[in-house]
Every structure is written in C-alpha cells, then in structure tokens.
Structure 1
Amino acid sequence: MNGVEVLADQLFFSKEAAEFLGITVQRLNKLVKEGKIKPLKKNASGTIFHIDELERRKKELKIFSEVERKVGSGMFVFDTGTKCEALNFATLMNVLCMTEHKLEPLFDSFGKTHQLDIPMDMENMAEEYAEFFSVDRKVLLKEYEKAKMAFFTLRETDEIIKRGSRDYPPLLAKTEQAPRFLYIRGKKSLLYETRTVALVGSRQASENSKENTIRLARSLGQNGITVVSGLAKGIDVNAHLAALKSNYNTIAVIGTNLNQYYPSENRWVQQQIEEKGLVVSQFSPANMTERWFFPLRNGTMSGLSLATVIMEAGETSGALKQADFALKQGRKVLIPESALKMKTISWPAKYVERGALPVKTPMDVLRILAESNIFQADLEAEQLILDDFWNSQPEQEDATTWNSWSESITIEG
C-alpha cells in the first residue's frame, strides 16, 4: 500500500465519520460546532476528518457510554403514561440533537393537539411526530427502538417521576431548574425529605476538608438531616460515606443516567446508596452523557436542598456552580470562614457579598439552619444547650477552628 492509499484510509468524510463514531451526521455536525471534534478541513465542498481525531473522540465517548446491563428482578416495564412520555421525549432529544430546555416548549406545543404519553410506535403517532418535528419517520422509529432498548436496561424497581405530578419533590418543584423527569433508584421516600443539606466541594480536596466533611455529615445525620451530594471524588464521596457508615439518610444526585457509575472507583458507594439511600438522575438511559450534564445536575442538587455548604473549592470548581444556583433559588449558601483568609482564592469574599454565610464549626451550620427557620426549630428549647457549648469552648485560632469541629447539637422540628 503506497503513501496515498494509507492517507486515504485515514481520512473520512462526514457520513463516514458519523458511522465510525456510531452517531448521526446531524450529531456530528453539532459536535464540530461545539468544538468537541476538530475537522482536518472544512469548506463548501465538504468536511474531512482524520482518524486520529475520531479515535480520540471515540475513546472520550466510551467513558460515558458504557452502560451497565444488570437489571433488577425483571425488565423495566412501560406500565405508566409517564414512562412512555419520557421515552418519547428522550427519542426526540436524540433525533433533534436538542437539550431538554430547548425541546420542552416544542414538545409541549405538540402536546396541545396530541397525547404525549402514547407510545411513539403506536397507530399513526410516528407520522404525527415526524410531520410536526420535520424528521424522517424511519429515522424517528429507528431511534425510538434504540431508546426503548436503553430504557429496558433500567431495573424493574426504578421509577420515573414527572414534574407537576404529586410524586415530584416539592422543594425542587419550586425552582426554575426542576427537570421535566427524574429517574430514581432506592428509597423513594427520601425524595420528599424537607430537612436536606448539600455538601459539595473540590474533587481534589485536602485531607482536612475531607475530615471536616465527615464531621459535618455526621452532625447533620445525628440531627435527622438528610445529606445530599453528587458522588464525585473528594468532598462528595466522603459526605456520602459518612452518612452511610452511621446509617443516616443520604441522596446522590448524579450527572449520568442511573446505569452508569462515574467515576468508576465510586461504583461501590453508589451501589450502597441504591440499597440504603436514594440515587437521583435527570438523564435518561437513552441519552449520551455529556460533560455539561454535571453542572446541570448541580441545579437539581441545590433544588433538592434547603442549604448548600461549600466545603472547599478552587476558583473554577463546579461546586461554585451549585452556589450560584442556590443563591438564585433563595437557598442558604455556607462557606468556611477560614476560606475568607486564604490569599490564593477570591471567590469566598465574592459569595459573602452575594449573601453566602461564613461558618466555623458544625455548630455554626446548625445554628444558622435553626435561626433561619429552615427546620422550624424551637430556638428557646435549644438556647441553654447552645450557651453551655459556647461557654465551655476554649479560644481557638480561626485557621484551626474549621478543622476541629465538635459533635452535633439537636435541632427539633
């Protein structure tokens, strides 16, 4: 094989590149537009891709596309209108390459004249969808079948909850970030907890911050407060583990679908939460996981929580995305007071100016929650305990106070 033939084997036009990646040409074009795939050449004549670039993207996609095929006691059953509607919605997201935010108004517009919870492959529904959304009927049905197979990988006991239904968590329903559908696995009752606090922070957290997270998670759990986090490395996983080890309630809000375990080293923690707590996702098993899913889930995590504590974060940490969401949602944001004295970061002072509250100890966290009437605590009943605590505490340096937290007090209500 000469040099020209070798080079020819390494170059792909759009259709060939899409087939190589196992996606549609429309999806490929979107990835190019977003800068996730860089073509070798692009002009009016067409777009050419080099195999090295396609291989790179294929490996990246594989990280998020490996689906666990383990099913519960039986195959997922489409026995409710909500499940059928979720499948229709997921299919359209894939075919149209749209986000939930962009698709939802169009989907609801279609729903004004059509029943959204009727399976897309029944009667003439495919034709109706194809005409309204200007897509090929065969392509639509092909994607529908692929999406259905992905949904079948869910466990029989998994549930899908639609926004607006009585099963939708009331705290989240009050926010603009409330997803149309929630996919849940585990103890459904935790979805309706109103005493919830999110602990978030850096994936590369320091040992001190991890220890503080464990202390605070235990204090919250001792007071009947559900610990919410995102199952990421660092702060998140330590918050979950602290709750699990003490048999306290914990909710994991993940940035993938229910069948994925990311990062892989936290797989066993996620499996424990599936059994003892609750795992929540806003993403269907039919939709390819994207990196921007993770900041989206921060809005959901904040919406499920009455307060968010930023345990540790750099200037570009995803935890700050959650702080932004929490402030917009009118929820409390708490940060370590010691972080305000760190010269290497500027975000703490900025967030305090926006309404975040500095705290030194778990006691501070509980006091703020009580004083803000978040948990409708009887402060007078607790005042003696609080006074005794403060009077018995020796003076400490601010830099070490956050790292020497005491055990919790009890908040009633």
Structure 2
Amino acid sequence: MDKNLANDLYFSKEAADYLGITTQRLNALVKEGKIEPLKKTPSGTIFHIDELNKRKEEQRIFSKVSQGGGKGMFQLDSKTKIEALNFATLINALEITEQRLDPQFSDFSEKADVSVPLNDSTVTDSYVEFFAIGKDRLLREFAMAERAFSRLRETDEIIKRGSQDYPPLLAQTEQAPRFLYIRGKKALLFEKRTVALVGSRQASDKAKENTQRLTVKLGNNGITIVSGLAKGIDVTAHREALRNGFNTIAVIGTNLNQYYPAENKAVQMEIEQKGLVVSQFSPANKTQRWFFPLRNGVMSGLSLATVIMEAGETSGALKQADFALKQGREVLIPRSALDIKTISWPAKYVKKGAKVVTYPKDVLELLAESNIFKVDEKYKQQTIEDLLEDGKNEPKQSKTQWIGQMVSGE
C-alpha cells in the first residue's frame, strides 16, 4: 500500500480519537449515515481522512451556530464542557442538588456517552429512560442551559474532577465538586501555600484592620490569600491582597456571571484580571441561599489553613471551620475570642482541634510547625522580626488583641 495513502486511513479507534469522540459515538454516526466508512474489513472498519475532516468541519459549524456564532463567545468545544452542560441540565430538570445527582450521573456515564449533547437523538432516549424524565422537559431545560452557558466568557474554563487541571488540594476532599468554573489565572489552583481568611460580614473596624495586617504578613511570605468575596472580612482580605500585589483566590457562592454582593463587583472584576475567581455552580443553575455555606467546603478544600478573623455564633465562617477540621486542615482562632462570655464557639472549636493564636507571627509559626508547608527560614525570620518591630511602640495589651474584639453576631 502507498505510504501516503496509509497515512490517510484510520481504524475506528484512531478515527474516534481524531474526532475527539468515543468509538460508541462513532458507530452511532455511521449508522445514522453522518460518517461514511471507506471500507469494512475483518480487521475493522477503515475511514479516510477526508471523510473525518468533513465531519470535523460540520462540528465546527454546528458549535458556532449553537453558541450564536461570533468571536469572543464561550464555545462548547470539548467533552468536559458538554458533559458539564448535560450535568447542569439534569440538575434543573430533576430539581435536585449536585450532591444527589453526582453518583447517579456517574452510574449513567458507564452506560452512555455523557460527552455528547443530550439533545442528540442518539442519546436523548437513554437519558429519558435512566432518569425517568419527560423528553420535552429534558430538551427544554437543555436549550435554556445551553443559552446560559453561552453567556460565559470565551476565556472561562470548566475543569472536571479527576482531570490533570483539577486542584490537587481540593481533590483530596469529599467536598470536591464534579466541575469547577474558573475565571482568571488558572495556575493559582496549584499554589501549594494557601490560607483562607474568613469572618463576619458585619465586621468591626478593628477586625478589618487586623485582617489587612495579617494579609500583608502572609502575602510577604508568598502565601496565596483565599476568601469568599462576601462583605466584611472577606472583601477586606481580597482588597488588601490586590493592593499589595499578592495572589488571591475568590471562591464565590454564585456562578461566574453574577456579582454578589453588588457593592463588591469592582473587586471581583479586579480579581478576574489579577487573581482567580472560582465557582462550583454552573451559569444554568439558579443561585440558592444554601450555595454560600456549600462553597465554604470548596474554599476550605483549596486552603491549607483557615483563620477565623471574627465571628458570631451563627457565622458562616464556622461552617468553614467544620469543613476544614473534617478535611484535616488547620483552623486558627484568636486567643482574645476565648475571653468573650457572650459566645461559646471558640472553646468548642479548640476542643475539636482548632489552634489558638495571639500574635500574627503565631500564624506563620503554627503553619510551619504543622508541616502543612515549609516557609523559607530566612524569609520567615525577617517577617517575624518585622512583626516584632511593628509592636515595639504598642502597649502590650493591644498586641495580645491583634485579631480584635469578637462580635456577638454577623
């Protein structure tokens, strides 16, 4: 056989890989007459490169049309993106949570190709039968979800759990969502030194001041600041990180196209440019109140430690502390909190394993001693000396209150 001709011929597995689909999907396309094989032999079915390229062009055109066309729009051009779209469609169509759907979807993926749009005639009936849902309802929800996905930005990414792009720290936890939607610097997902600063939305001025101070000390040690972009402590940490040019990750309780609260929109947009915004919620799923405590599990999962800067008895920060302890991550709380008689959570969390800190340097030392990560000894010493220098002219009592007086509620 001519060598050049041989290079143009593909067996089924090679053809499927070339098209980025499964062999099951390829066989279905052959049956539908959408791809014509060159020849069927005892060794297998053979396809010519020209036929495969024709199919690729059809896929490209279909993708452009389905997304409204035009440059700069989000494209459903990968298996992961299509699977995420199918998954989001089912959440809406079945009216269930991601946690309930996840194991069912995994079972279904063993029986059908979930990387094919579920409105494709080759797979729609499989969804209808397996999930016991009306076909019209399913297709209607798919169309709405597809429009919502098209409003993502061209540079936004969807990362699937189990892929090489999924953050390894988060992957170790039970709270790792099936998909992450990200906007910004993806490399920050692989930062090995990350600390979350969380606390009350109705934070005191003193707590905000101490959050700024600790953000600077952590950032100066090359630690990435993680928080949830809420009012109060969260946005204070993000703003200070941005102001000083430090890495920061915002884990939000909405989808990427929403800015909540509205007053923090400018900060979120700046993080999109200079840091990373992470959401576990698809653009097709309507935001629910329980999304916000749920994202605390992801925020903790992305962090090696959580520092509770200020919190009341019902603060969402305590939800994150629970997640962090379950995930085997450090939880740090201020010693001053133990002296406040109106709140009981500090003592409870110390019994659960939280560590108590008095000075900002204690945070760095605890992290180093716990072997969560290693801080360069020379750099660490410079920072601690700087902290001590900062406090030389301060009354001793004020230094012991560096986190600030706790409040009784959010």
CA contact (8 A) 1:170 1:192 kept: yes
Structure 1 residue 355 and structure 2 residue 353: aligned?
Answer: yes
Q: Which residue of structure 1 lines up, in the alignment, with residue 320 of structure 2?
A: 322
- SS state at 1:179 partner: coil
CA contact (8 A) 1:72 1:156 kept: no
What is the CA deviation profile of residues 175-203 of structure 1, one whole-angstrom value per residue up to 9, with x for unaligned ones? Answer: 00000000000011101111000000000
CA contact (8 A) 2:184 2:273 kept: yes
Q: Which residue of structure 2 lines up, in the alignment, with residue 148 of structure 1?
A: 146
What is the CA deviation profile of residues 161-184 of structure 1, one whole-angstrom value per residue up to 9, with x for unaligned ones? Answer: 000000000000000000000000
Structure 1 residue 160 and structure 2 residue 168: aligned?
Answer: no
What is the CA deviation profile of residues 243-265 of structure 1, one whole-angstrom value per residue up to 9, with x for unaligned ones? Answer: 00011100000000000000000
Q: Distance in 1 between matches of 2:90 and 2:139?
A: 10
Alignment of 1:326-337 (within 5 A): 326-337=324-335
Q: Distance in 1 between matches of 2:387 and 2:199?
A: 28
Q: Distance in 1 between matches of 2:387 and 2:398?
A: 20
Question: Which residue, out of 191, 196, 199, partners 2:197?
Answer: 199
What is the CA deviation profile of residues 121-144 of structure 1, one whole-angstrom value per residue up to 9, with x for unaligned ones? Answer: 123211110111111111100100
Q: Which residue of structure 2 lines up, in the alignment, with residue 3 of structure 1?
A: none
What is the CA deviation profile of residues 348-406 of structure 1, one whole-angstrom value per residue up to 9, with x for unaligned ones? Answer: 1111111111112221111111111222235588569858976995795455433389x
Q: Answer with 1 or 2: which has the greater Rg.
A: 2
What is the CA deviation profile of residues 316-352 of structure 1, one whole-angstrom value per residue up to 9, with x for unaligned ones? Answer: 0000000000000000000111111111111111111
Q: Which residue of structure 1 lines up, in the alignment, with residue 295 of structure 2?
A: 297
Question: Which residue, out of 130, 133, 136, partners 2:134?
Answer: 136
Q: Which residue of structure 2 lines up, in the alignment, with residue 281 of structure 1?
A: 279
- SS state at 1:375 partner: coil
Q: Which residue of structure 1 lines up, in the alignment, with residue 401 of structure 2?
A: 402
- SS state at 2:320 partner: helix
Q: Which residue of structure 2 lines up, in the alignment, with residue 234 of structure 1?
A: 232
Q: Which residue of structure 1 lines up, in the alignment, with residue 110 of structure 2?
A: 112
Question: Which residue, out of 323, 344, 347, partners 1:346?
Answer: 344
CA contact (8 A) 2:217 2:383 kept: no
Q: Which residue of structure 2 lines up, in the alignment, with residue 50 of structure 1?
A: none
- SS state at 2:197 partner: strand
Gaps of 5+ in 2: 1-68, 405-410
CA contact (8 A) 2:83 2:114 kept: yes
Distance 1:295 1:72, change over 3 A: farther
Q: Distance in 2 between matches of 1:72 and 1:204?
A: 44
Residue identity in the other structure for 1:125? V
CA contact (8 A) 1:253 1:301 kept: yes
Q: Which residue of structure 2 lines up, in the alignment, with residue 265 of structure 1?
A: 263
- SS state at 1:184 partner: strand
Q: Which residue of structure 2 lines up, in the alignment, with residue 184 of structure 1?
A: 182
CA contact (8 A) 1:338 1:398 kept: no
Residue identity in the other structure for 2:309? M
Q: Which residue of structure 2 lines up, in the alignment, with residue 212 of structure 1?
A: 210
- What TM-score do you get using the length of structure 2 for normalisation? 0.78
- SS state at 2:147 partner: helix
Deviates more, 1:132-141 or 1:375-384: 375-384
Distance 1:260 1:308, change over 3 A: same
- SS state at 1:251 partner: strand
Question: Which residue, out of 96, 99, 102, partners 2:100?
Answer: 102
Alignment of 1:25-104 (within 5 A): 74-104=72-102
Q: Distance in 1 between matches of 2:91 and 2:187?
A: 30
Q: Distance in 1 between matches of 2:374 and 2:165?
A: 24
Residue identity in the other structure for 2:401? W
Identity %: 65
Structure 1 residue 254 and structure 2 residue 252: aligned?
Answer: yes
Distance 1:306 1:143, change over 3 A: same
Q: Distance in 1 between matches of 2:383 and 2:74?
A: 51
Q: Distance in 2 between matches of 1:220 and 1:385?
A: 9
Q: Distance in 2 between matches of 1:404 and 1:120?
A: 52
Q: Distance in 1 between matches of 2:217 and 2:137?
A: 53
Distance 1:398 1:117, change over 3 A: farther
Q: Distance in 2 between matches of 1:263 and 1:386?
A: 36
Distance 1:362 1:172, change over 3 A: same
- SS state at 1:77 partner: coil
Gaps of 5+ in 1: 1-70, 406-413
Aligned residues: CA RMSD = 2.2
Distance 1:85 1:280, change over 3 A: same
CA contact (8 A) 2:249 2:277 kept: yes
Residue identity in the other structure for 2:286? M
1:115 is displaced (CA, Å) by 1.2
CA contact (8 A) 1:212 1:402 kept: no
Alignment of 1:8-27 (within 5 A): none
Distance 1:252 1:386, change over 3 A: closer
Q: Distance in 2 between matches of 1:303 and 1:339?
A: 25
1:75 is displaced (CA, Å) by 1.1
Residue identity in the other structure for 1:124? T
Q: Distance in 1 between matches of 2:101 and 2:73?
A: 28
1:276 is displaced (CA, Å) by 0.4
- Count of residues in correspondence between the two structures: 335
- SS state at 2:158 partner: strand
Q: Distance in 1 between matches of 2:386 and 2:403?
A: 18
Q: Which residue of structure 2 lines up, in the alignment, with residue 375 of structure 1?
A: 373
Residue identity in the other structure for 2:156? D
